[in-house]
Structure 1
Amino acid sequence: MTDIISDSSAGLSAIELFAAQTAHDLNNLLTGILGNLELMQNRARRGGMAEFDDYLASARQAGSRAAHFTQRLLAFSGRDAQAAAPVALDAVIPRVIETLRATGLAIDMELAVGKDVLCSAPQLELALRELLDNAAQAAGMNGRITLRTEYAGDDAVISVTDTGPGMAADILRRATEPFFSTRTGGAGQGLGLAIVERFARRSGGTLELVSHEGEGTTARLRLPAIAP
């Protein structure tokens, strides 16, 4: 499948359309499932059936993870694209990082003061989360992650660097392919960098990956900047 995607824009469009249709169908199913689980949990609590509460809570958490996966599929497909508008990086980035720090993720931040970027704010937040999550998986428990911003000409550049093991050249070449991953297990593996690359392209920007084995990885998300 990945060879077809790499060599044919028509093949990629078909994959994106399939992802969008699947996400919409899953979202419709999950709406009913999560709604009924919430009703069951509330009734169990009112009825004094506390022994069921943990099971229902776990089921709702699993459903929420599945719902998040559908959002990522839609983001990959581009079918949920929102209109571009000026976005202040110094407002969006700290908000995303504080949310992730609350989960225990250690992130260093170096923000330059400069222009806004022109893109969809919700899609930028998702792209940042994908980059930081990918860096966290690469860096591991004892690694470090650094997010920097800088301005180069008419562009804003967001760099996320990790101290992980880095990637060999053959892996690096395929890193943004949809559903390509060297990791195993878990829904949505191989979507993160594909989501970011497509967001960058649709926003008039680029995603550049720099990595060498044993030297970590830097992802540079370049977006059009505008005067604030």
Structure 2
Amino acid sequence: MELTSETCTLVFDALEQTHDTIFITDADGKIVYANRAFEDLTGFTRAESIGRNANILKSGEHTKDFYDKMWNTIRSGQAWSGRFINKRKDGTRYMEKVRISPLKNAKGKITHYISVRHDVTHELALENQLVQSQKMEALGLLAGQMAHDFNNMLTIIIGSMELVKEDLKEGTIGMKLTDDILKTSKDSANLIKQLLVFARRQDDEKAPPAADLNAAIKDSQTLARLLGPKIRMEYRLAPDLHRAKIAPEQLTQVLMNLALNAKDAMGGSGTITIATENFRGDPDGDRGLPAGDYAAVSVSDTGPGMPADIMEHVFEPFFTTKPKGKGTGLGLSIVYGIIKRLGGTILVASEPGRGAAFTIYLPKA
């Protein structure tokens, strides 16, 4: 059946106006047609992409075996469906659901392939946030119950050892052992306190007043001295930053933990940047924040960055990539607990070789 010019125009308009990316390649993979959505998603204009191989979108995230299986499927005349992590012209990555179908001529020979793609980057980010939130909530409940039970036991141990100490003489072995037990018990109690921060079980804590975050950050600039001379600190503070409900000492604790984490990631030398900005939340945006105004504080470093499988676990209590005995793995979970308790959100962005950035979003007071 031959199509009328009117029908051809209708089909072309549909291809151009759909929000899904559609492009056609020849049998060797060279692009011969790309719709408007292709330009919007990839950043490549049609003039730049037509005549070039579709591998201009390759991100390096997939193996040769992955592509071989795809090609074997479509060259056999079958359609292939799956997911790609591809790369835009500017180097940023995105995830898309893909269906590639072979196009045959009247003799049944495959001459072209049509690829229909749907960007699912935002959907997956929201799914991951939900899964992460549920996992952290479960860990928080477990950590809170364990911390509560251990705290009760440590209270008994510390109280008992204080009574024993009253009957001992200074300089004796018994006094030394008692002091060692008390010190270890109090150190353990401090770890329990940090776990309680993560678990958000300090219900008697009053909501802090609205704070000037820029002023609090300036007051905490002494942390540069604590980080050592090999760490360079940079500050990019936005004027007229929204006020947010966080106690200055809480913000200092958050910044200290993030800065120490960045220092360790950089191997003790590099640049840490603390920046602030006003941010408008959009549930449909790439950060998935509820609608509203936020004060954002970011701590970024020039370290080696981290892969996705590490980022998935960074806020979990006791998770650490440091050698045994070099860290408790509680620093970032404490930050997470503080920010969540204040109704905020903390997100991490990183890629191997590009450093890491932790950004806190606190609702405008």
Task: Quickly name the TM-score band, shorter chain normalised.
Answer: 0.7 to 0.9
> What amino acid maps onto 1:94 in structure 2?
K
| Aligned pairs (5 A) from 1:115-126 | 115-126=242-253
Deviation (angstroms), 1:21: 0.9
**Contact 2:161–2:182 under 8 Å retained in 1:** yes
Cα separation, 1, equivalents of 2:196 and 2:224:
22
Cα separation, 2, equivalents of 1:70 and 1:135:
24
The structure-2 alpha-carbon separation of the partners of 1:33 and 1:192, relative to structure 1 and needing over 3 Å to count, comes to: farther
Percent identity, aligned pairs only, is: 31
The equivalent position to 1:181 in structure 2, one of 303, 320, 324, is: 320
- 1:161 pairs with 2:161: no
Deviation (angstroms), 1:166: 0.8
SS in 1 for 2:329: coil
The equivalent position to 1:71 in structure 2, one of 171, 193, 200, is: 193
> What amino acid maps onto 2:360 in structure 1?
L
- 1:89 pairs with 2:216: no
After TM superposition, the score normalised by the length of structure 2 is 0.48
Deviation (angstroms), 1:67: 5.0
Deviation (angstroms), 1:142: 2.0
| Aligned pairs (5 A) from 1:1-228 | 11-22=138-149, 24-25=151-152, 28=155, 66=188, 68-80=190-202, 82-84=205-207, 85-99=209-223, 101-102=225-226, 104=228, 106-110=231-235, 111-113=237-239, 114-153=241-280, 154-186=293-325, 189-226=328-365
Deviation (angstroms), 1:198: 2.8
The structure-2 alpha-carbon separation of the partners of 1:64 and 1:20, relative to structure 1 and needing over 3 Å to count, comes to: closer
The structure-2 alpha-carbon separation of the partners of 1:17 and 1:156, relative to structure 1 and needing over 3 Å to count, comes to: same
Q: Judging by fraction of residues, say which structure has more strand.
A: 2
Deviation (angstroms), 1:170: 1.3
**Contact 2:227–2:263 under 8 Å retained in 1:** no
SS in 2 for 1:144: strand
Identify the range of structure 1 (130-139 vs 58-67) with the bigger mean alpha-carbon deviation: 58-67
Per-residue displacement from partner, 1:58-78 (whole Å, max 9, x unpaired)? 999877754542332221121
The structure-2 alpha-carbon separation of the partners of 1:100 and 1:35, relative to structure 1 and needing over 3 Å to count, comes to: farther
Q: Which runs of 5 or more residues in structure 1 are unaligned?
A: 50-55
Q: Judging by fraction of residues, say which structure has more helix.
A: 1
**Contact 1:159–1:218 under 8 Å retained in 2:** yes
**Which residue in the other structure is 2:8 paired with?**
none
Count residues in correspondence: 218
Per-residue displacement from partner, 1:160-193 (whole Å, max 9, x unpaired)? 1111111111111222223222223238633222
The structure-2 alpha-carbon separation of the partners of 1:33 and 1:156, relative to structure 1 and needing over 3 Å to count, comes to: farther
Cα separation, 1, equivalents of 2:228 and 2:136:
40
Per-residue displacement from partner, 1:87-109 (whole Å, max 9, x unpaired)? 22133223333145245263524
> What amino acid maps onto 1:160 in structure 2?
V
Q: Which runs of 5 or more residues in structure 2 are unaligned?
A: 1-131, 172-177, 281-292
After TM superposition, the score normalised by the length of structure 1 is 0.72
SS in 1 for 2:312: helix
Cα separation, 2, equivalents of 1:21 and 1:142:
38
Higher relative contact order (CA 8 A, sep 6+): 1
The structure-2 alpha-carbon separation of the partners of 1:32 and 1:165, relative to structure 1 and needing over 3 Å to count, comes to: farther
Q: Which has the larger radius of gyration?
A: 2
The structure-2 alpha-carbon separation of the partners of 1:214 and 1:123, relative to structure 1 and needing over 3 Å to count, comes to: same
